Structure 1
Amino acid sequence: MMFMESPDFLFYSLHGMGAVTCPLQILGLYCILFKTPQTMNSVKWVLLNSHIWSLIFDITVTALTITFLVFPVLGTVPLGFLTTLFGVPIDIQAYLVFTLLFTVLFSDMLIFENRYYQLFAKNKSWRHFRVPFIIINYGAVGIFMLPTFLNTPDQLQAIDLAFKQVPNLPVELRSMNFFIWATDFKLFLGSFIFITAFQLTEFVPLILITDWNVRSSIKKSTQSRQTMQLQLKFLMALYAQSGAFFLTCFTPYVYMLYSCFTNYYNPIANNFIFIFVAARGSFCTVILLSAYKPYKKAVVNIFRLISSSIGCFKTQPIVNPIGIIISNQNTSLF
């Protein structure tokens, strides 16, 4: 087995990503909690909710589970701490990862819902449907994997079937803690297709109606033009974050569908699609910290402080032509 095809490659890659992603996520958490201005208070808590779920998901996939995927046989070898230290059953780990993935998606959706409600729907009928909407969606992401979870096949038979389905699977997998979620991929993929369609049929109209209302308010000047311009910039940043999520999570999702329906086996691709998913937290946090001016300013100040403490940022006096000190000026890499 080549190194890039192996569980070791995934293990070290995800640990390396976690070492970068977690501090970055914690920095984002700090900025949301302590650097969100009063003008953003109405969105602060939904941003925090989304970021916390994202942080939990990133820790889960880069340290707790580290799922070595084997498509198209719907198999996995868990390599994380939940297996090595706590002995958590593999099917529960899979349930946790997939549930958290779609919880993150819904938490992003709540940010758009919050903007729509705060700006346009406080006095409309939507205010009566918000709480049921949230409860139903959190319930849906919590139970959509139940059909697969409750129909886990006998593992000895499932593994034999997997090696018959894909004869070139490495024999080393037999000696590992190899687990098959399902022998009939239709049930497994059916659950995924259901929850994806369920959330997208809500997410896309919510984005469109919020964007349309903001742009209409700017044109009609029904609210402060400056306020609406700021809201539009805020939405643009949300679009970038949502785009990063879809790119890093749904590209692997499409590959998974392709692999299962065509019986395509590529161990390197199997590793990289999970690495791609694990990268989403870093992408979204970088967008968060760079798109919102208060957070960007806080990050720059933090790096200036760090640079100053290690000697990269020094204060030098400026002297005029006759040798009199006028002021102090910072010379910095930033």
Structure 2
Amino acid sequence: MEISFISTPEFITFSLHIITALETPLHIFGTYCILFKSPDSMKSVKWSMLNLHFWSVCLDWTVTFFIIPFVLFPTVAGFSLGMFNYMNVPLQHQCYLFAALLCTVNVATMTVLENRYYILFGKETSWRKIRVPVLAMNYILAFIYPLPAFLNFPDQLVALPQILQKLPQLPDFILRHQIIVYATELQFFVIPIILMSFLLATEILILAKRMYTKMNSVTYKITMSQKTLSMQRAILIAFLIQVSSICSHLTTLLFQTSTMAVNFLIPITYICYTVAFNYHNQVANNICFVIFSLHGLSSTSIMLWSHKPYRAVCYKFLRFKKSETTSSRAVPVVNMHLNTMNFHSRHS
């Protein structure tokens, strides 16, 4: 039987190492831009952006370097090929870390939106009193929701034969690795994911809806000039472009950022299909994780492209002639109008 190279562990290892080599300097450059090239107009969201970037980088390096998962969909089984494997970190702990980081990235995404809402509209509302407990709860839940599957880790002597019966005859280049079954009772694995996804989706949609409503309210159109309103909308749109690469449930932005959303939509759709129809195709499994692993490149690239100050740094770095006068002149204008907006909101 002819075996495709794409179905082998060597392919997934080689591909994810290449992605790591490409994304590492880009992540470092993105961190530099956030820390040192964020103008005063973005000062209020600088640290929430850095928080999102930090967790995204952690997730990317965990997947592409420390774990390098070789998963045998439609089962929740497989083995790792990354640095953790050589450090003898149990796969059970690796899976827990991956699940927690995946959720934390989405929580950090919600934090960016919440920060923008709080700065613009929430300082004088009841949200000011509950925002810290809500955000803290989200981060705590991100590390709690994987615990049901982690604590119900199956007996491998019983679970592995059951899993192998569900799969077609595996080639020797897979069987020579120590296959670990992470979950056989999928309710411990699926239900927490559904509940956590629903919680974060609800929070993000509520924040996005309230921001959209406030932006279009008569009150804020009166207290802010049209120029300032347009600038704030531009900042919001820039954030939502990056957010949509992680939160595919913001459907209104998927058409604008289809190349970003594909990093999550295609793998999730494929995994659901394999589980529903008990379908195994290792070539597709490996491609699925390669697409997912491109999230870091996509997310950081979109961040650098969508914000004008960072884009100007990229032009300068690439030695393109690009005027930054428009961006620099906009900073005091935004600050002046933001101060005016805050003054009116306090005295209205």
Report the counterpart of residue 295 of structure 1 in structure 2. 310
Distance 1:213 1:170, change over 3 A: farther
One-letter amino acid of the structure 1 residue matched with residue 298 of structure 2: F
Report the counterpart of residue 99 of structure 2 in structure 1. 98
What percent identity do the matched residue pairs reach? 37
One-letter amino acid of the structure 2 residue matched with residue 184 of structure 1: E
Cα separation, 1, equivalents of 2:93 and 2:210 = 38
Distance 1:283 1:218, change over 3 A: farther
Structure 1 counterpart SS, 2:264: helix
Structure 1 counterpart SS, 2:71: strand
Compute the displacement of 1:253 (Å).
2.3
- Is 2:154–2:183's contact at 8 Å kept on the other side of the alignment? yes
1:81-135: per-residue Cα shift (whole Å, max 9, x none)?
0111x11111111111111111111101111101111001101000011011111
Cα separation, 1, equivalents of 2:186 and 2:169 = 19
Cα separation, 1, equivalents of 2:159 and 2:309 = 53
- Is 1:218–1:225's contact at 8 Å kept on the other side of the alignment? no
Match of 1:22 among 15, 21, 24: 24
One-letter amino acid of the structure 2 residue matched with residue 153 of structure 1: P
- Is 1:21–1:281's contact at 8 Å kept on the other side of the alignment? yes
Compute the displacement of 1:171 (Å).
4.4
Cα separation, 1, equivalents of 2:54 and 2:219 = 32
Match of 1:34 among 20, 33, 36: 36
- Is 2:8–2:173's contact at 8 Å kept on the other side of the alignment? no
Cα separation, 1, equivalents of 2:304 and 2:62 = 22
One-letter amino acid of the structure 1 residue matched with residue 239 of structure 2: L
Report the counterpart of residue 317 of structure 1 in structure 2. none
Report the counterpart of residue 285 of structure 2 in structure 1. 270
Structure 1 counterpart SS, 2:217: helix
1:286-319: per-residue Cα shift (whole Å, max 9, x none)?
11111111111111112229xxxxxxxxxxxxxx
Distance 1:227 1:19, change over 3 A: same
Q: How does 1:1-334 map to 2 (within 5 A)?
A: 1-84=3-86, 86-216=87-217, 220-245=221-246, 246=248, 247=261, 248-304=263-319
Compute the displacement of 1:285 (Å).
1.1
**Structure-1-length-normalised TM-score:** 0.87
One-letter amino acid of the structure 1 residue matched with residue 222 of structure 2: S
- Is 2:221–2:229's contact at 8 Å kept on the other side of the alignment? no
1:170-202: per-residue Cα shift (whole Å, max 9, x none)?
344332021111112232111211211121111
| Greater mean alpha carbon deviation, residues 242-251 or residues 292-301 | 242-251
Q: Which has the larger radius of gyration?
A: 1
- Is 1:215–1:232's contact at 8 Å kept on the other side of the alignment? no
**Contiguous gaps of at least 5 residues in structure 1:** 306-334
Cα separation, 2, equivalents of 1:197 and 1:255 = 20
- Is 2:4–2:283's contact at 8 Å kept on the other side of the alignment? no
Which gives a bigger RCO, structure 1 or 2 (Cα 8 Å, sep 6+)?
2
Cα separation, 2, equivalents of 1:170 and 1:227 = 62
Structure 1 counterpart SS, 2:79: strand
> Aligned pair count?
304
- Is 1:71–1:256's contact at 8 Å kept on the other side of the alignment? yes
Cα separation, 2, equivalents of 1:215 and 1:108 = 23
1:228-262: per-residue Cα shift (whole Å, max 9, x none)?
21111111112211222232224322322222232
**Contiguous gaps of at least 5 residues in structure 2:** 249-260, 321-348
Report the counterpart of residue 308 of structure 1 in structure 2. none
- Is 1:11–1:66's contact at 8 Å kept on the other side of the alignment? yes
One-letter amino acid of the structure 2 residue matched with residue 63 of structure 1: F
